[in-house]
Structure 1
Amino acid sequence: MENNHELALSEIKQLLQSNNQIETIKAMKAIGSKGEQAIPILRETIRSNDDLSLRTIAIVVVGEIGKDAISAVPDLIIQLKGTDEQLRMAASLSLVRIGKGSISLLKDALLQTEDENTLFWCSWALAMIDASELPKEAISILMHKEKHTDNIIEKTASQEALAKVIGNTLN
């Protein structure tokens, strides 16, 4: 059975390297069904694939695997620090889906960056995972973004995170 599994992963890996985007997307969905065993291939795709759409799909699939994808958290944090908005949003959502195992690296990322977008998406993810873990500085970041952004996604995300913070203080 192990050999069949390795063969399937090998075939999927070949499809990921294909120039046919439809086949590549099918491969990504198939690999996600392998759960934790798929993480190495997904991480490799996130780290090294030049196709932003494929990297985004790999990030989303990691999130769908959930807490078993904890080994991918460092790769997701790197995506939060990148310049592509779609990758940052997908990474932050996947970190939320992974859950509490993401908290310590999210807190570290808050301390290690000055980039406004990275700070915002780290703060959002922390609030969504566990608002009690959110440092006061992160609350200020969320409040600032809510007041000063024209981006409807960022505005809504900041309001959602701040609502979690308020809910946490009421409990």
Structure 2
Amino acid sequence: MSDLKPFDANLAKLGSSNTQEAFAAIQALKNQGIQILPALIEQLRVSDMSVRTMIVVVLGEMGEAAAESSSQVATLMLEDFEQLRMASALTLTRIGSSSIPHLLRILASNDNTACFWAAWSMSFLDPSQISDKALEILRNKRNQPDSPIEVFAAEEAIGKIVGNRLQQ
């Protein structure tokens, strides 16, 4: 691996089973700044779901600077890999308001699990844009979750949405 560029070496380490090595790679990639965004976005097409998930985490660490990745990250919420969906939702929240149009696109889809995570993310960014249909999806997941994390995420999002509606 010594002949690899630092980007390539850190990208390879994202898939490491050694947690410390993977987290160090996240930090190293984040510290390279926005000049690596095009390469990270390109790598979102790799076949290894774990590496794709970790790339999404890197983009989330970059926050608003990773805004140009919002569309691609939102599309990943349509994948069938739970960790990738959750990481994508969190990353879009961390990217901020430029994610809203992409989240609205996902909320308009027929994929209830993707809608669930889009609604969770949107509850942080602009809960006033959550439709009654999306609120119902959150309630249904809270009552019949596919994972324990969904219960907590649903409760959190429902609280934000209801609180926002009470203020209006």
Q: TM-score, normalised by structure 2?
A: 0.84
Match of 2:72 in 1: 75
How far 1:13 moved relative to its partner? 3.0
Paired with 1:14 and 1:98, the residues of 2 have a C-alpha distance of: 24
Which residues in structure 2 correspond to 1:44-59 (within 5 Å)?
44-48=42-46, 50-59=47-56
Q: TM-score, normalising length from structure 1?
A: 0.83
Is 1:167 aligned to residue 144 of structure 2?
A: no
For 2:33 and 2:61, how far apart are their aligned partners in 1? 9
Deviation per CA, 1:10-41: give whole Å up to 9, x if none: 82233156588369834443121123222112
The letter of the residue matching 2:6 is I
Q: Which residue of 2 aligns with 1:126?
A: 122
- Contact 2:10/2:29 (<8 A) preserved: no
Percent sequence identity is 33
CA distance change for structure 1 residues 37 and 114 in 2, over 3 Å: closer, same or farther?
same
Instruction: Describe the superposition over 1:97-139 as per-residue Cα deviations: whole angstroms up to 9, x where unpaired.
Output: 111111111111221x212211111111111212112122111
Q: Which amino acid aligns with 2:59?
A: V
Task: Give the SS at the match of 1:127.
Answer: helix
**Separation in 2, partners of 1:17, 1:165:** 37
Letter in 2 for 1:35: G
Distance 2:162 2:12 in 1: 47
RMSD: 2.2
Q: How many residues end up aligned between the 2 structures?
A: 160
User: Structure 1: which 5+ runs fail to align?
Assistant: 1-9
Q: How does 1:5-20 map to 2 (within 5 A)?
A: 11-16=5-10, 18=12
Q: Structure 2: state its 5+ residue gaps.
A: none
Matched, 1:37 2:35: yes
Q: Go from structure 1 to structure 2 and tell me whether the alpha carbon gap of 1:18 and 1:134 turns closer, same or farther (over 3 Å shift).
A: closer
